[in-house]
Amino acid sequence: MPAEYLQLHSFSKEWNVRGAQAASALTLAAMSLGYGVVQLDVTIVNTALDAMGKSLGGGVAELQWVVSAYTIAFAAFILTAGALGDRIGAKRIFMAGFALFTAASLACALSPHAIMLIGARLVQGLAAAILVPNSLALLNHTYTDDRARGRAVAVWAAGASLALTAGPFVGGALITLVGWRAIFLVNLPIGLAGLWLSWRYAVETTRARSREIDLPGQFAAIGALGALAGAIIEGGELGWQHSLVLSAFAAAAVLATLFVWRESRTSQPMLPLSLFSHRLFTLTTVVGLLVNIAIYGLIFVLSLYFQRINGLSAWWTGLAFVPMMGAVLPVNLLAPRLAERIGPCPTIVVGACISALGCLGLVWIEAGTSYWAIFAQMIAISGGLGLLVPPLTSTLLGSVEKARSGIAAGVLNATRQTGSVLGVALFGSLVGGEGAFMQGLHLALVISAAVLLLAAATIGIGARTRGRTM
């Protein structure tokens, strides 16, 4: 065989390998944009809470609904979105979610009153529910090696961390220079870039046409989560003994029971209860719920603390959050390497304990406390979160067969967003009363520390009882 032919064949093979690597990297970029734009709205909206309240009217309860409408829809629809990706193809569903998120962002920017803004935020949450599990499913499809997948997930999480970091700074600048409506317009170019990269480089997943959509279960999930969030939010305004609040709690309990009953009976459940027979799947799901109750509830109340108690502008509030969010990015990149050394479950335990210590270090905070006096504690809270999320996500995906990666990713993110809903609702109700903000903030910090330590104990003890290193 001529040497020229062998050289040409070798060059062609190397070119194909490099092309495949580039396509994988650009697919990862598209998935990171999808997750990033979802997380961007967390910090941008929290920075704009005071500006939106003054512009549209309303108190803490209305602001809780602006935040919670997004997370309720996110949590309630994410399981169905994962199932749709399994049935129709993750790429198709991911692109549809990106288009819907972009359109809903425009509707948020144009909202003339709080009701329309809350409705547009619901649609945004639905689109976010579509984006996150299908981005993970596409990553799982693209990166088949465990180590490569772990590092890709770390980059995916780091992209979201970058969005979280940029959110306060960009949001504060936009609110100061243009107004709060501009914070939603920034999603438009991100959406267009993500759509193009996905269309051009992502490879469609295998379609499971036998996968059905569980509409009764979906409606029960929406009702249960919405009723529970409403009861907690309005309990802070109306009082916990109010008939509407008690009725909402009762409705949430009944609907949650119906949801579990439905999922145990149907042949194609939106939440296959059999997944929880995997110990690691169950442990990581519970930890995801607990961590988000603590972290995202605190982000909400700290945003109000900076603006309403310490009188900071949106610009300075944004700057106050930049170091906290910025700490997540480098720790996200460190997490998979630490997990390779000591194991993913011990890494999760360390991250949760660091965040808990940060919460306890803030318990003495008062009105007018210097920012630099709480700086290290805020870094600890976010750094612990950055350390635990990549191994948490990768461990959960690795605990189930690849054919169910979409629904597994959906369950993790549904429970995490449910935690966000409960955290914002609970902590918001604690600080919503007249003259009770600081007392409520102190209690929220104690609760957060306890919940994070419970998460560490759950994964630490649960993993150890398996009798092998995780």
* 73, 337, 454 from 350: Cα distances, Å: 31, 14, 12
Q: Are 328 and 161 in contact (CB under 8 A)?
A: yes
Q: Which among 265, 290, 286 is positioned nearest to 276, based on CA atoms?
A: 286
Residue 132 has pLDDT above 60, yes or no: yes
Q: What is the mean pLDDT of the chain?
A: 83
Q: What angle do CA 205, 211, 216 make, to 5 degrees?
A: 130
Q: What angle do CA 191, 192, 196 make, to 5 degrees?
A: 115
pLDDT at 20: 62
pLDDT at 465: 61
Q: What is the pLDDT of residues 457-468, one digit of tens each?
A: 999 887 776 544
Give dist(CA 300, CA 52) in Å, integer.
14
Q: Which residues contact 134 (CB under 8 A, 6 or more apart)?
A: 81, 82, 85, 90, 91, 93, 94, 97, 406
pLDDT at 6: 47
Q: What is the pLDDT of residues 65-92, one digit of tens each?
A: 888 888 888 888 877 887 777 778 888 8
Q: Which among 153, 158, 133, 136 is positioned nearest to 344, based on CA atoms?
A: 153
Q: What is the mean pLDDT of residues 361-368?
A: 92
Q: Are 429 and 232 in contact (CB under 8 A)?
A: yes
Q: What is the pLDDT of residues 223-263, one digit of tens each?
A: 888 888 888 888 877 788 888 889 999 999 999 999 999 98
Q: What is the mean pLDDT of residues 155-174?
A: 78
Tally of CA atoms within 13 A in the half-sphere of 416 that contains its CB = 21
Residue 199 has pLDDT above 50, yes or no: yes
Distance of alpha carbon 430 from its chain centroid, rounded?
23
pLDDT at 322: 78
pLDDT at 7: 53
Between 172 and 381, the more confident residue is 381
Q: What is the pLDDT of residues 303-333, one digit of tens each?
A: 889 988 898 888 888 888 878 877 877 887 8
- Give the pLDDT band (50/70/90) at residue 18: low
Between 292 and 155, the more confident residue is 292
pLDDT at 293: 93
Eight-class DSSP state of 435 = T
pLDDT at 8: 46
Does the pTM surpass 0.85? The reply is: no
pLDDT at 108: 92
Q: What is the mean pLDDT of residues 91-102?
A: 90
Q: Are 263 and 378 in contact (CB under 8 A)?
A: no
- Domains defined along the chain, listed by start: 15-202+270-464 (1.20.1250.20)
Q: What is the mean pLDDT of residues 86-105?
A: 88
Q: What angle do CA 222, 205, 213 make, to 5 degrees?
A: 30
Q: Which amino acid is at 255?
A: L
* 11, 237, 421, 430, 441 from 240: Cα distances, Å: 72, 9, 18, 12, 19
Kindly state the helix (H) or strand (E) to which residue 317 belongs, with its residue range: helix 314-326
* 56, 104, 214, 292, 450 from 50: Cα distances, Å: 10, 22, 39, 23, 29
pLDDT at 4: 55
Eight-class DSSP state of 308 = I
Q: Which among 98, 107, 103 is positioned nearest to 196, based on CA atoms?
A: 98
Give dist(CA 215, CA 149) in Å, integer.
32
Q: Which residues contact 75 (CB under 8 A, 6 or more apart)?
A: 129, 225, 413, 414, 415, 417, 418, 420, 421
Give dist(CA 138, CA 85) in Å, integer.
9
pLDDT at 468: 46
Q: Which amino acid is at 1?
A: M
pLDDT at 239: 80
Between 113 and 377, the more confident residue is 377
Q: What is the pLDDT of residues 409-432, one digit of tens each?
A: 778 878 888 888 889 888 988 887
Task: Tally the residues of the chain.
Answer: 470
Residue 12 has pLDDT above 60, yes or no: no
